[in-house]
Amino acid sequence: MVSLRDREIAQEELTKLNLTYLHINESEIELTGNICKEDIMLLKKAFDIHGLELVEDKKSQLIEKIKTSILEMVNDAEKPLRTNFSNYLSATLMYDYTYMANLFSKVQGITIEHYIILHKIERVKKLLALGQLTLTEIAYKLHYSSVAHLSSQFKKVTGFTPSYFKQSGNKDWLSTDNV
């Protein structure tokens, strides 16, 4: 997801280059008219300076949309899960899941399922660190079939049990940079 500050930076840089746009949302900017290659290069440079990335090709855009959809679903886990992730992604992005899964694996080097697990475990770590929910409540909230399933995935990803993580109180472990 793109922060409010990132959107402001994007608007500022587009204005500097006299590029018009229809809208800027969490994951994309819809430009109007024809944009020459020189303007695209200038926009890329400006975005790079601010740590933003301009994604032009359709496959890269789809990968970013997959990531955004996964983050939204994992971070908005309070809502009841009405479907599985594959059906959710297919319905949301209007692509065949097999195509998306193959493309994602080829480009990212991991499966969509593994990417989802990594983000779910990051969410579990944050919830454990906050200390407001029990492991049972976290498992329910993130739609795990059982506490045992959550604990098993947690240990597989982090190398630690959720109990050890919670007892350690080490908030330095909270990072989605590796995901």
Give the pLDDT mean for 151-173. Answer: 84
- For the ranges 50-59, 73-82, 117-126, 160-169, the lowest mean pLDDT is seen at 73-82
Q: CA–CA separation, 102 vs 91, rounded Å? A: 17
Alpha-helical (H) ranges within the chain are 4-16, 37-49, 58-75, 85-93, 97-108, 112-130, 135-141, 147-158, 162-168
pLDDT of 79 reads: 65
Instruction: Supply φ then ψ for residue 54, to 5 degrees.
Output: -100, 120
Give the pLDDT mean for 150-159. Answer: 94
Q: For residue 8, give the amino acid letter.
A: E
Give the pLDDT mean for 131-150. Answer: 91
**Looking at the whole model, is its pTM more than 0.85?**
no
Q: Which fold has domain 58-179?
A: Arc Repressor Mutant, subunit A (1.10.10)
Q: Higher confidence at residue 119 or residue 40?
A: 119
| Whether residue 18 has pLDDT greater than 80 | yes
Give the pLDDT mean for 12-35. Answer: 78
| Whether residue 112 has pLDDT greater than 90 | yes
How do the domains of the chain map onto residue ranges? 4-49, 58-179
pLDDT of 13 reads: 86
Model pLDDT for residues 34-69, shown as the tens digit of each residue: 778 888 888 888 888 888 777 667 788 889 889 988
